[in-house]
Amino acid sequence: MVRVLFVCLGNICRSPMAEFLLKHLAKERGCDDQLIIDSAATSREEIGNPVHSGTVKKLAEQHISCAGKRAIHITQCDWESYDYLLGMETSNLNNMTRILREADTKKIHRLLDFTEHPRDIADPWFTGNFEVTYHDIMEGCLAFLDDLEAKGLIQYKRKVQK
Ligand code: 4NP
C-alpha cells in the first residue's frame, strides 16, 4: 500500500483537486486498492470548509465528486502515516518541514517534480485560473502514478487509452 498526502496552503483548491483526481485516475487504472490518498492544509484559515467552487466545477466536468471533503490541517503524525507528502509549490514544502519538525525531507516533494518540467503549481485562490491548475495537477498525477508503477510500488490492472 502506498500512502499519499497532498498538501497546499488552504486545502480547498489545489490539494483536494489532486486528491480526487488521483483517486479517479487510480480507479481507471485498477490500482485504487493499492493507494491511500488524502489531502491537508498548512494554514488554518479554511479548516472545516468545503472544497472551493472552482475546484468542484473542474472536477464535476470530469464527473468526479468531492462531496463531503472538508479542509483539514496537516499534523505531526502525518510524517509516519504517509509515504509521500506532495506539495503544490515550494512554500508548501517549507511549511511542511516546519510543521512536521522533520529534518529528513525524503518523503516531501512538489507534485510537478515527477514531470519532465518541474515547477510550482500557481494558487488559483489568487490567480482565479482553475483551468491551468487542473492541467498542471493532471500532468503531475499522471507522472506520479507512472513513477510508482515504474518503481514496482503499484501495478496497473487495467489499461487506459491515452
Ligand atoms: P489552496 O488555495 O492552497 O490551493 O487551497 C488557498 C485557499 C485559501 C487560502 C489560501 C490559498 N486562504 O488564504 O484562505
| CA 155 to centroid of ligand 1, rounded, Å | 34
Per-residue pLDDT of the chain (162 residues), as tens digits, is 999 999 999 999 999 999 999 999 999 999 999 999 999 999 999 999 999 999 999 999 999 999 999 999 999 999 999 999 999 999 999 999 999 887 778 999 999 999 999 999 999 999 999 999 999 999 999 999 999 999 999 999 999 876
Query: Which residue type occupies 3?
Result: R
Catalytic annotation, residues: 8, 14, 123
Give the H or E element holding residue 141. helix 130-150
- Ligand 1 binding residues, C-beta < 6 A: 8-14, 45-46, 123, 125
pTM: 0.98
Closest atom of ligand 1 relative to the 8 alpha carbon: 3
Residue closest by Cα to atom 12 of ligand 1:
10
Instruction: Read off the DSSP letter of residue 29.
Output: T
Q: What pLDDT was estimated at residue 104?
A: 77
Q: What pLDDT was estimated at residue 65?
A: 98
Q: Where are the domains of the chain?
A: 2-150
Q: What pLDDT was estimated at residue 84?
A: 98
Q: How far is CA 159 from the centre of its chain?
A: 23
Q: What pLDDT was estimated at residue 101?
A: 87
Q: What pLDDT was estimated at residue 102?
A: 77
Crossing angle for the helix pair 130-150 and 53-61, to the nearest 10 degrees: 60
Residue closest by Cα to atom 10 of ligand 1:
10
Q: What pLDDT was estimated at residue 22?
A: 98
**What is d(CA 152, CA 155) in angstroms, rounded to the nearest whole number?**
7
Give CA separation, 94 vs 2, 31, 109, 123, in Å.
23, 31, 11, 16
CATH number of 2-150: 3.40.50.2300
